[in-house]
Structure 1
Amino acid sequence: MSADKAKAVKDLIDSDKVVIFSKTYCPYCKMAKEVFDGLQKSYTAVELDNRDDGDEIQTILGQITGARTVPRVFVNGECLGGGSDVKALHEKGELQKYF
């Protein structure tokens, strides 16, 4: 992993209030996006399967968050976890506190 690529990933995380590292075909990724769509909250989706460096980004996310799975959902630079985590936060009414 290059330091430049790790910085680029951190810059992506900081680029928007909500950033979702995703894969277009992943049902958990769709679940996470649907939660934010339902809340009418905009987000940046980084579709790793559409990028040449997607695998490298996924590895960096694993080092940053402790999990390599997608989605990796960040709100205000904090990783909230994956699709099930975001859905659970929303269902408990706890996701709103991040906005």
Structure 2
Amino acid sequence: MTQIYVSSLLKMETNVLKLAAQNAVVIFSKSTCCMCHAIKRLFYEQGVNPTVYELDEQRHGREMEQALKRLGCTPSVPAVFVGGKFIGTAHDVLTLQLDGSLKKMLKAAGALWL
């Protein structure tokens, strides 16, 4: 890889992490992904209003998706961050929901008040 390409990848990773830290709940998604839709709905139904970045609608969506993969998001979407911390993809979020941990995380991040 060229130095310019690597530098560009690292810059995009930094940008993705900055976006993820700007709100209590951030979801990187694709508008055509059914699992993304299900995860967003899970949050909405709990009264949480996540910030959603639809990668297929973003100018640098492909680069953002590559950055998410490099950060360990596999599959790359949905990638869910709570309180600036990557909590996982759909499987991880559903597991946290089922064991009750998700609600605690949301309260700690200030995304849920009840």
Q: Same fold (TM over 0.5)?
A: yes
1:45-72 Cα distance to aligned partner (Å, 9 max, x none): 0000001211110111111125242100
Instruction: Name whichever of 43-52 and 62-71 sits farther off.
Output: 62-71
In the TM superposition, structure 1's runs of 4+ consecutive aligned residues that sit over 3 Å from their partners are none
Q: TM-score, normalised by structure 1?
A: 0.89
Contact 1:31 1:87 in 2 (8 A): no
What does 1:14-25 correspond to in 2, within 5 Å? 14-25=21-32
Query: Could you say if the C-alpha distance between residues 66 and 20 of structure 1 is closer, same or farther in structure 2, counting changes exceeding 3 Å?
Result: closer
Paired residues, number: 99
2:3 aligned partner: none
The correspondence for 1:92, drawn from 93, 96, 99, is: 99
Q: Which letter does structure 2 place at the counterpart of 1:44?
A: T
Displacement of 1:5: 2.4
- Distance in 2, Cα, partners of 1:26 & 1:74: 18
What does 1:34-45 correspond to in 2, within 5 Å? 34-45=41-52
1:12-68 Cα distance to aligned partner (Å, 9 max, x none): 011101000000010110111111111101110000000121111011111112524
2:78 aligned partner: 71
Q: Give structure 1 stretches of 5+ with no counterpart.
A: none
Q: Say whether residues 1:51 and 2:58 are aligned partners.
A: yes
**RMSD value, Cα:** 1.5
Identity fraction in percent: 33
Query: Could you say if the C-alpha distance between residues 25 and 79 of structure 1 is closer, same or farther in structure 2, counting changes exceeding 3 Å?
Result: same
